[in-house]
Structure formats: structure tokens, C-alpha cells
Chains A and B, each alone.
Chain A
Amino acid sequence: MANERGVSVVDPEVKVIVESEAKAVTKPETNPDINPQDTGDYEAIHSKSPLFYDLYERKSELKHQTHYCPGCGHGVVHKLIAEALQDLGVQDKTIFVSPVGCSVFAYYYFDVGNVQVAHGRAPASATGIKRSCPDKMVISYQGDGDLAAIGTAEIVHAANRGEKITVFFVNNGIYGMTGGQLAPTTLVGMKSTTSPWGRRPSNEGFPLHMAELLATLEAPAYIERVALSDSKNIMKARRAIRKALEIQRNGGGFSFVEILSPCPTIWGKDPVEARRWVLEKMTPTFPLNVFRDHQPEMPSGSKAEKVPPQHSVAEVLGITPLGITPKTGGTDASKPKHAHRFKDVKIKIAGFGGQGVLLLGQLLIEMGMREGLEVSWLPSYGPEMRSGSAHCHVCLSKERIGTPLISHPDVLVAMNEYSLKKFAHEVVSGGVILYNGASLPAGFSAPEVQVVAIPASEIADKLGSTKVTNIVLMGALLEETECLAPGTALSVLEDKVKKLDLLEIDRKALTAGRLFIDEQAHIGAVSQPDGFA
């Protein structure tokens, strides 16, 4: 950082108002706090705003003067902001966000709450501050490299959200603090240490017009570009800065003032020349204008502005029930008592995305939890697309569950042929496979494993909805393994399924799945397992 640059000027801003073109100065509103010295044609202000510290204690040396160079625009902008804040009476409620660049040390001077932030991120940090203290005044003060280069995304999105902050954008077309490199606002043909032949649009593109760019957005309330080129324009800048802050004080939307500002040191000009250069060279590229001056038009209608309901923390977090009490809650006295004849059961459920694979697993762990078991559910997660395969791992256990990842399941529910072939070999010896199909695929064999083919999709179709295929398989699973009580399944379904007609089909599906296994047992096609030891 090149802070050693120019620290030799005392109060450059004093000169600004008393000097040249004083006659052109519109007489500002009288401010009793500033103790103006009325000289008739103009007003000379020699005192320092109480918004500034008396002595700049945060500086390590030369504590009575700023670190800005002679003729630098920052001093003027600081003064205008300080006076406006003072007149608005908001010193105690102001939070000033200092950026990276020459104004990184703005907190040396402003006697307000100060937050210094990362390069370009001031609008994001100001967002976090303003959202945390909505009734405070939050100012983001940025240079052109900070705002228009590294921080382009942050300023555009803060403006687009209509953050109720005020942004002062000091544009001098160059990187000052780092010693004169190309800025996004450097003029065409203007030399910098990184555009030694001048800015060539073929190589560096054209200057970025931030005020115009932000004015394409709907949310901002106020956007103006001003220039510190002469007293008349400085007075316009003064009014723009005040207006922007007033908008914020009155609870208005995003306000933005771009200030074309001299940088005599880097430009290699004396202060007077530099100011003239702002007018003659910068304003043709960056025309002075009010680009926006009205509160955003908020769309009406319920969809545009839905207010989130307010609830207690316990309700929102599901610690206490919200709204409707569950029809048969987990703590219901009618909680089915079920003898779990296992230490743990590991179930893998697999099929196509959209077959209710993950939901079936969730229903099983909900049941297990209600029956007082330890449970875990681990999905195969992927890009949110329907066409892929999906599977999940379900553990039901009487003890703390170690790995939730099941490499060798006791039970595999294969909802399609692909899953059957993919996962059958993982099933433990003596385990069970429930396959969604009228019969096993030709050539399929799984010795040491009990395989049951259940035409679950067909059964579900006949019941009126293919969607309940997973519930048919759940019925079969409960009947085949007796790992959980069918009564718990019913109460879980009653709580989870809101549509009554679908619930009715679910009930039938559960029963149909169980009956299918029963009948299979009767005709001797399948022997009953011994449960899980």
C-alpha cells in the first residue's frame, strides 16, 4: 500500500468554498451549528464539522491533518458528508463503512461508528450491517477500483435488492493508493502505470458508467452523478449528498451518488488544473445528471409481498407442535407396542428417482423412532434430476448406530431390475430381497438369500395410483421381516399424508402388500424368516 503518498496538506476543503467562483455559489441553507461567517455574497466556513474528530488519534503521526494529498477530492467529499450528517442530526446512529483504496482510513476522521471492510465488498458488508440495524444510517464509501472493478457484483446486487443504504462513489478514473494503475473508469487514451500507452479500448475496453448502469435497475431510489470541478458543481454535490442521506434517514431505498473527483498527485497536475480537468475531460465521458429520483414502484398483489408468519422459536423448530396437532402423534398413548426381535436391521431401498425410494426410507425411520428405536437414513444424493437411480440406507437399532452407510444390508428393497442386479450381491447371507416385479428376471439367482418378487406396481395401479408402489412394498417388508408394527405404519401414514383420498389408497396398499406375503407363505412359495438375530 502506498500510503506514504502525499500527507502534506492541511484541511484542503477549507479553500474550496471560500475560493474562486464564489459569486456563483448558491447560498446554502443557514446552519446554526456550523457558525457561518456571513460575508454577503458567499458563506465562508472555517470551522471543522463536529462530525470529525478534533484530533485524528487513529493516525500514527501528523494527527492534526488528513492523509489525503493537496487538492484531493476525498477531503471535500468527507466535509460534505460530515456536514450533512450533522445537519440531519444522525451522528450517533451512523455507521460508516470504509473501503480499500485511498479512503481506507476514512475512520481516522469521522466521529461515528466505523467498520473497515475488504476490497470491493463494502456494499455486501453494509447490507449485513443495515439488515442487522435497520433504523441506523449506513454509509458505504468507495472508490472506482473498489466499486467498479473488484466490487462490481456487490454494488450491482446491493442496488438491485434496494438495500436502504447510501453509497458514495468517488470516481477519479485511477487507482490512487497503489500508485496510478488503470481503473475501470480510466478515460480512453488516459495513461496509467498499467496502460502505459493510454487506455486503448481494443485492449482494456471502455470506461464503465456505474451511475447509468445502476439506473437500469428497478430498486434504486436515487442515483446522481456530480463533479468536484468548481464551486457551483461542488454545491450541487453538497445537495446530492444531503439528499441521498435524507432518503436513507426517511427510510427510503438505495441511494447512490457518483462523485467525479480530482487526483492531482497521480494525474500529475496541480490542484487547480486537476479540478479543471474534471470538468473538461471527465464530464464528457461521465455526464452529470440525476439518473433516478423516485422510490421504486413496488408491485402490488399478494404474491409480490407475502409477509412471513411469525411464530415462537419452539413452534418453528418443531419442539412444540405448530398449528394442527397431529392426528396420532408420536407420543400418543395408543403407541403400538412391538417386540423387536433384533439388535439392528439394515435396509437398503433402491429404484428410479420418482418411485418414492427415499420417502419409503423416511417412513421406516419415522416408524422406528416412534417405536423407540435408534434410526438413521442416508440418501444417495445427486443432482436434482428425476431420471437417475436413487437409493437410501435405513438403520433400525436398539443401540447407538455406528455407520449409517450400509455396505451389506439385511434387507434389500429393489424397486426395479437395475437395482436388483446392482445391489443383490451386497445382501448378507440369510437376508431378504423384496423385488418389485411379477417374477424374477431370467437367470437371476441369489443363493443364501430369500428373494420375493412382488408385483407391487401392478397392485398399486389396481388400487388407483402407481404412486403407492412403495407403500405396497412397505406392507410386504413389514409382513416379511416383522421389524416394525403395521399399526405404527398406519399412524405415520395418517400423520404424513394430508390428502384423504390418497391416504385411503395408502392404507389399502399397505394391506395389499402384507396380504401378498401372507398368501405366498400359504402356497409355500416363500418360507418365513426367523427375524433378525
Chain B
Amino acid sequence: MRQLCKGNVAVVKGAILAGCRGYYGYPITPASEIAEAAALYFPQVGGTFIQAESEVAAINMVYGAAAAGVRVMTGSSGPGLSLMQEGMSYLAGAELPCVIVDVMRGGPGLGNIAPEQSDYFAMVKGGGHGNYRNLVLAPASVQEMAEFTMLAFELADKYRNPAVILTDGFVGQMMEPLELEDREIQPPEKPWAVKGTPETRANLISSIFLETDELEDHQRKLEAKYIRAQEAETRYELCRTEDAEVLLVGYGIVSRVLLSTVEALRKQGVKAGLFRPITLWPYPSKALVEAASKRNVQKVLVVELSNGQMVEDVRLALNGKVPVEFYGRVGGNVPSVRELQEQVLSRIAVAV
């Protein structure tokens, strides 16, 4: 049965289906509905909801619950995520699985509450201290907010690493039909956790490795894990790329606008296609190279609600093989289909 649902609420519904029973968070626009839905739903299914005194406390509560072996999450928006970065570094260092949702808004500083995609660097490239990676998924619809949250829990446990749902104010605030299967997932056993049991008494959760060789070994182990994820977990979506001459690249809400733009351009006789990364880390570089290396592709245009963040990964992946151009809107402005059509047309004209 389809139900209408807000993106932010769908995150919580997906989390509960994934067996998540702990939510620790702090309110912030445009992510507050996540905390509100968690406050309403978690206690009704035997879970815990705590409104923490700050995002700093929230992420460290998540750390504690994850150390105890339960599926746990938090959600916030840019300014809150800035405060959580220390904790995220610890979580990655201590190899604790959890899900963190970033409903991006305009920055820097207090910025505004309209959508941006300006936390890409902070979430995808790190943001906290030290060598670590977050697994990052970018949903573009309400259905995906639920499904990717479920997937994020699976990946987080598989790699014992924080997983981030990187989305924006529009996807968080919009309502669409949501279809959920009546099938609750049993979280995996976590023999490494500290549960206050005889079996787990010898366990230690820690990110401190005082000896240089020890810390290097630990980091090599993390790296090996990240390489495994890069090989196995990249996800993306292609739309009309077979014969595309212009390859548009965008994620999240932008991919939705680009989908409409591709259709509009096709009607005008312009062969446009869309490459939409779903995992931002690991980045689907191989698939992008494949899509962009098709004979017809003359140009790649990356569109973001930022001043050019993901475009760096596109350029790294394509490594000069195809010209990569960038168009970004910031401040909370989202480009219209017409605007993007014009961008593409003007760039093709220049190319010809």
C-alpha cells in the first residue's frame, strides 16, 4: 500500500524497518522532521529516542550505542554536521557502524535553510581529523530516503563504518508516495561489541593506538576495507546515455531536475543523457568513465547546488578524457529545467 510521506519521515521509517532502535539527535531546519518522527515512532516499537543537548553529545551517544552493538542513527543539517565531525572521526577510527543523515542547507555559517549541496566535501572527503572515509549515499526521492537508509545500515554493518545519507532540504521536505514492505530486517550479530556480557567482556572499542606501528597497521586495515568498498559498493543510475552527446552529471535533487532537462532537450533534438551517482563515496568512477567514453559524448556538464565540489571527483575520474564543465547554483536557489536547457544549448553552440 502506498502512503504519502515526507522525505525526512521516510528516513525514520526505513531505519525502523532496518532494525534501528536508537535515535539520538538535535533539532535543526530542514532536518527536524527526522527527530520528530523518531521521537514519535521509536518508543512505540521498543526503541530509544533522546533529544541530546547538542549535536556533539548526539553523535557521542550514537558512538556509545554503536559500541553496545545496536543499530543506531542521528540526523541533522550542515551546522549540526560540523559539530558532529569530531565524533564521526572517532566512529570511523573505532570502526563503529551507524547512520548519519545530512539534510543539506545553505552555508557557510548559519547560511539559510534552503537546499544546497555544499556539504559534499565535508561528508565525502572527510571533514573530521585523520585518514578515514564515510560511506555516502545520495537519495533523490522519498522512496529512496527510506530504501537508502536501509541500505546504509547494511553497508555500515558490513564495513563497520559510519554511513551517511547525504540529501538536501528539498528531498527532506517533499512528499511523495512511499511503499514499504512489511518485512523487518534482523540486524547481524556483532561479536565485537561491548554488551556487558561474559562473551564480550574481553572486547575493547577504541580509536587510540599509541605506538606508531600499531596505528599504521590499524590504518592499513581501514584502507583495505575502503578498497573493498570501492570495488563492491559503487552505485549509480543511467538515463538515456547510450547515444548521448552531452552527458549531464548530478546527484540528489539536481538529478531530478536533470532528468526533466534530458527529456526537454531530447524533445528539442539534443541528445542528452544523465549520469547520476548514487554512492558519492565510493564514487562510481569506473561507470562514469564508461558512460563518458562512449563515442558520441562530446561534453560532460556537472550541475550542483554548490560552487563546484563533486565536479572534482568527475574530473579526477575522467582525467582529461572528455571536457568537463560545471554549472552551479548556490544560496538555496535550484535551477529550473529551462535554465539548464539554456546552459546546455549555449555550451553546445560554443563547442560547435
Contact = CB atoms under 8 A, between A and B. Distances in A.
Interface residues of A, number: 76
Listed residue (A114, A309, A311, A362) with the most chain B CB atoms within 10 angstroms of its CB: A114
Nearest to A111: B201
Interface in A297-353: 308-314, 316-320, 330-331
Contact of A316 (B16, B54, B336): B16
Given A369-B4, A378-B170, A118 B63 contact: yes
Interface in B55-113: 56-58, 60-70, 72, 86-87, 90, 94, 113
Nearest to B337: A403
Nearest to A369: B177
A129 interface: yes
A1 B209 CA distance: 12
Given A107-B204, A113-B200, A116-B205, A405 B175 contact: no
A112 interface: yes
Contact of A317 (B24, B41, B46, B200): B41
Contacts of A138: 196
A121 B60 contact: yes
Nearest to A358: B175
A407 B72 contact: no
Contacts of A60: 210-211, 214
B198 interface: yes
**Quick one: which of B1, B48, B194, B336 has the most chain A CB within 10 A?**
B194
Interface in B160-211: 169-170, 173-177, 180-182, 184, 194-198, 200-201, 203-208, 210-211
Interface string A83-106: 000000001111101100000100
A157 B53 contact: yes
A362 B175 contact: yes
Nearest to B33: A381
B64 A330 contact: no
Nearest to B214: A60
B182 A320 contact: yes
Nearest to B264: A402
Nearest to A154: B57
Interface in A367-395: 369, 374-379, 381-383
B65 A311 contact: no
B44 A379 contact: no
A153 B57 contact: yes
Interface string B18-34: 00001010000110000
Given A116-B208, A127-B61, A381-B29, A121 B196 contact: no
Nearest to B46: A310
B4 A115 contact: no
Contact of B72 (A116, A128, A403): A128
A269 interface: no
B334 interface: yes
Contacts of A133: 68, 195-196
Contacts of A402: 256-261, 263, 337
B60 A132 contact: no
A161 B203 CA distance: 28
B43 interface: yes
A93 B68 CA distance: 12
A126 interface: yes
Given A311-B44, A314-B182, A128 B62 contact: yes
A131 interface: yes
A131 B22 contact: yes
Interface string A278-313: 000000000000000000000000000000111111
A37 B260 CA distance: 84
Contacts of B64: 97, 115, 117, 124-130, 132
B44 A310 contact: yes
B207 A116 contact: yes
Given A132-B69, A320-B182, A403-B257, A330 B204 contact: no
Nearest to B336: A407
Contacts of B208: 104, 116
A331 B2 CA distance: 10
Contacts of A309: 44
A377 B174 contact: yes
A365 B178 CA distance: 12
Nearest to B32: A384
A408 B29 contact: no
Nearest to A3: B210
B351 interface: no
28 contacts: A92-B201, A113-B194, A113-B203, A124-B52, A125-B67, A127-B57, A128-B22, A129-B65, A131-B22, A132-B65, A132-B69, A153-B54, A157-B57, A311-B44, A311-B45, A313-B17, A314-B182, A316-B44, A319-B180, A369-B2, A377-B176, A378-B174, A379-B173, A379-B174, A381-B29, A383-B113, A407-B338, A408-B336
